[in-house]
Amino acid sequence: MTYVEGFVVAVPAANKDEYRKHAADAVPLFKEFGVTRHVEAWGDDVPVGKTTDFQGAVQAKDDEVVVFSWFEYPDKATRDAANEKMMADPRMEEMGASMPFDGSRMIFAGFDAIVDEGAGGPMGYVDGFLVPVPPANKDAYRAMAQGVAPVFTDHGATRVVEAWGDDLTDGKVTDYSRAVKAQDGENTVFSWIEWPDKATRDAGMAKVMEDERMKTPADDMPFDGKRMIYGGFAPILDA
C-alpha cells in the first residue's frame, strides 16, 4: 500500500508564488528519486484550536500561512532509498539554500497508509488532519476509519487516506508528537480527504455532519478528539 512522507510548513504569505515555484522546480528531481505524487496545499480554512492546531504545530507567525504537503511512494523501500539518494545529491543542498520558508520549523515524517479509499481524480480541495492515537488502538482506529470513509465518498469526496506514523523523529524545534501533544507514547496519524473543489467540500462536509453513520459517542472514539488537528487547504501543486 502507499507510503507517505508528510509535511507541514509555515510559509510567509508574501512568499506564496516563490514557494509554488520552488516546489514545482523540484518535481523532476523528486520524480527521479521515486516519488509518484507530490502535493502542496495552501492553508485556506485552517481554524485556531483550543488545544492544538496547525499554526501551533509549526509555530506559525502572524504573517505566515500553513502548507499541508505530502509525497506518495509505492512502498517504504522506495521511500527509504529515495531519502538516501536525496541526502547525497548536491542538487538537494542547492535547493535547501534557497528555501522561501523557515525549514527549522517544518515537520516531516514517514507514514504507512492503513486506509486508502476512493478512486481519486482531479483534486481542487483537501482537508488535512493530524490525529494522536495510542498504539494499542491502531486496529480500532483503522476499523473506525474504514467505516467512515464511505460516508465522505458518498457525499462527494474522491479519496480518503489514513496513514499511520511509521518513521517519526524528534525535532529540535517542532515535530509531529509536539504538534498533537502526544501522551504516553501515542502515535500520530497523517490523514487527508480529497475533494474535486471547495464548493463540493463545503456541501459534502455539511451532509457528513448530519449523516447517522457519523454519530459515534465520544467515549467510543479510539483517540482524543480534543487534540486532533484539522483544516482545509487549496492545492497549489499536484504533480
Reading the block at residue 16, the C-alpha cell is 506564496
Which amino acid is located at 71 in the chain? F
Task: Provide mean pLDDT across the span 188-192.
Answer: 98
Q: Is the pLDDT of residue 191 over 80?
A: yes
Mean of pLDDT over the chain: 96
What CATH number is associated with residue 197?
A: 3.30.70.100
For residue 170, give its domain range: 3-238
Closest to 43 measured CA to CA, from 7, 15, 13, 5: 13
Query: pLDDT tens for residues 114-127?
Result: 999 999 999 999 99
Q: Is the pLDDT of residue 154 over 90?
A: yes
pTM, two decimals, is 0.96
pLDDT at 45: 98
Query: pLDDT tens for residues 6-26?
Result: 999 999 999 999 999 999 999
pLDDT at 98: 87
Angle, CA of 205, 208 and 212, to the nearest 5° = 165
Q: Is the pLDDT of residue 1 over 90?
A: no
How does residue 94 score in pLDDT terms, banded at 50, 70 and 90? confident
Phi, psi of 31 (to 5 degrees): -65, -40
Q: Is the pLDDT of residue 216 over 80?
A: no
Burial (CB count within 10 angstroms: exposed 0-12, middle 13-18, buried 19+), residue 98:
exposed
pLDDT at 219: 73
> Total structural domains in the chain?
1
pLDDT at 131: 98
Taken in order 44, 72, 168, 131, is the CA torsion positive or negative? positive
How does residue 95 score in pLDDT terms, banded at 50, 70 and 90? confident
Specify whether the CB–CB gap between 100 and 19 falls below 8 A. Answer: yes
